Amino acid sequence: MEVKKILMERGVRAARSHGQYFLSDDRVAARMVEYAGVESGDVVLEIGAGLGSVTEKLVSKAKKVYAVEKDKELCEILREQYGNKESKIEVIESDIMKIELPEFDKVIASIPFSLSSPITYKLLLHNAGFGLAVLLYQKEFAQKLVAKPKSNLYGRLSVIVQALVDVEIVEFVHRDAFYPSPNIKAAVVRLKEKEKEKEKRIVEEKKEFFEFVTTAFGHRRKKMRNIFKTKLPESSALEELDRRPEELSPEKFVKVKQYDY
C-alpha cells in the first residue's frame, strides 16, 4: 500500500505527538494476519485501522472485520476502499476506549503507541474475553509485557498480562516499516487467553487482581507482608509475603492474591 502517496493526496498528517504512525510495509501486515491464524469463519476486531494496511490483508481471510478508527478522514478513506465489501468490512468511526466492543473472535491492531496500556487493559478486562490478539507495540513496551522478575522492565504490566494470557514477541519491526518513520523500533506481540479453568479465580476477579497488583507495585521496595499488613490474618505464613513485588513471578502473585489476605 502506498501510504505516503495516499496521505499526501488527502492532506492527512500523522499525529506524532499521540504516537500515530501508519504501517506501510505490506509484508509486516500480512505476517500479523498469519500470526493471528485468521480463518474464513473468524470475526476480527481491528483497532486503529488507519489507511487499511492490515484491513487489506483481512478482506480475503476473515468472515467479518470490525475496523475501528477514530479519525474521520481516515474512516472516509476506508469506506471508499471497502465500500463494496460492506457485508464483510464494517468501519466504526469512534474512539476504541469509548465504545462497547462488538462480538469478535480475534484482535489485530497497529495501535498508537501512546494508547498501548489503555487498549491492552481494555482487552484484558473485556467480559467476553478476546480470544487471541496480535498487536503492534513500541519495542520497549513489548519487552515489559514479557519481562521476568527482578529485571528493570518487570512491573505491574508484566504481572497482570502474564497472569491472564500466554504472551510472546513474535517479531521485531524496523522503523522503516512505518510512515512517518518513528524514532523507535516496534514489535509484534501475540497474546492468547489462558484456559478459563486454568486461571478461573483470576478470570472471575480481574478488576480486583488489577488493583491488588497496582497497590503492590506502588510500594515495590517494601515486602508484600508490609504492604498488605492490615489485610493479612495473623496466621499468614506464605514465604512469598517476605518478598518484594519485583521479586515475585506472576504465578506467585496469583497465589498471594488467592490467599485470604
Rounded CA separation 79/85 (Å): 9
- CA nearest 252: which of 108, 154, 168, 132? 154
pLDDT band at 9 (very low <50, low <70, confident <90, very high): confident
Q: Which residue has the higher pLDDT, 118 or 233?
A: 118
Give me the residue spans of the domains in the chain.
3-193, 200-258
Backbone angles phi, psi at 169, to 5 degrees: -85, 120
Q: Residue 201 pLDDT more than 80?
A: no
Indicate the angle between helix axes 250-258 and 156-164, nearest 10 degrees. 80
Q: Residue 15 pLDDT more than 80?
A: no
DSSP letter for each residue of 46-79: EES-TTSHHHHHHTTT-SEEEEEE--HHHHHHHH
Rounded CA separation 149/243 (Å): 11
Rounded CA separation 168/142 (Å): 9
pLDDT band at 233 (very low <50, low <70, confident <90, very high): low
Q: What average pLDDT score do residues 146-168 get?
A: 97
pLDDT for the residue 235: 58
Count helices and strands in the chain by DSSP H and E runs: 11, 9
pLDDT for the residue 238: 85
Rounded CA separation 85/116 (Å): 29
Locate 229 and state its grid cell.
499488613
Q: What average pLDDT score do residues 193-211 get?
A: 75
pLDDT band at 77 (very low <50, low <70, confident <90, very high): very high
- CA nearest 190: which of 106, 68, 69, 105? 106
Rounded CA separation 240/256 (Å): 7
Average pLDDT, the chain: 90
pLDDT digits (tens, 9 = 90+) for 17-45: 556 789 999 999 999 999 999 999 999 99
Rounded CA separation 92/65 (Å): 10
pLDDT for the residue 28: 97
Maximum CA extent, the chain = 70
Percent with pLDDT over 70 in the chain: 91
Q: What is the dihedral of CA 227, 233, 236, 240, to 10 degrees?
A: -20
Which CATH architecture describes the domain 200-258? Orthogonal Bundle (1.10)
What is the pTM for the complete model shown? 0.91
Q: Residue 111 pLDDT more than 90?
A: no
Q: Residue 197 pLDDT more than 70?
A: no
Q: What average pLDDT score do residues 93-105 get?
A: 96
pLDDT for the residue 137: 96
Q: How far is CA 67 from CA 37, 74, 105, in A?
A: 18, 11, 14
Residue the block writes with cell 468511526: 93
pLDDT band at 92 (very low <50, low <70, confident <90, very high): very high
- CA nearest 164: which of 186, 135, 131? 131
Classify domain 3-193 by CATH number.
3.40.50.150
Lowest-confidence pick of 156-170, 192-206, 243-257: 192-206
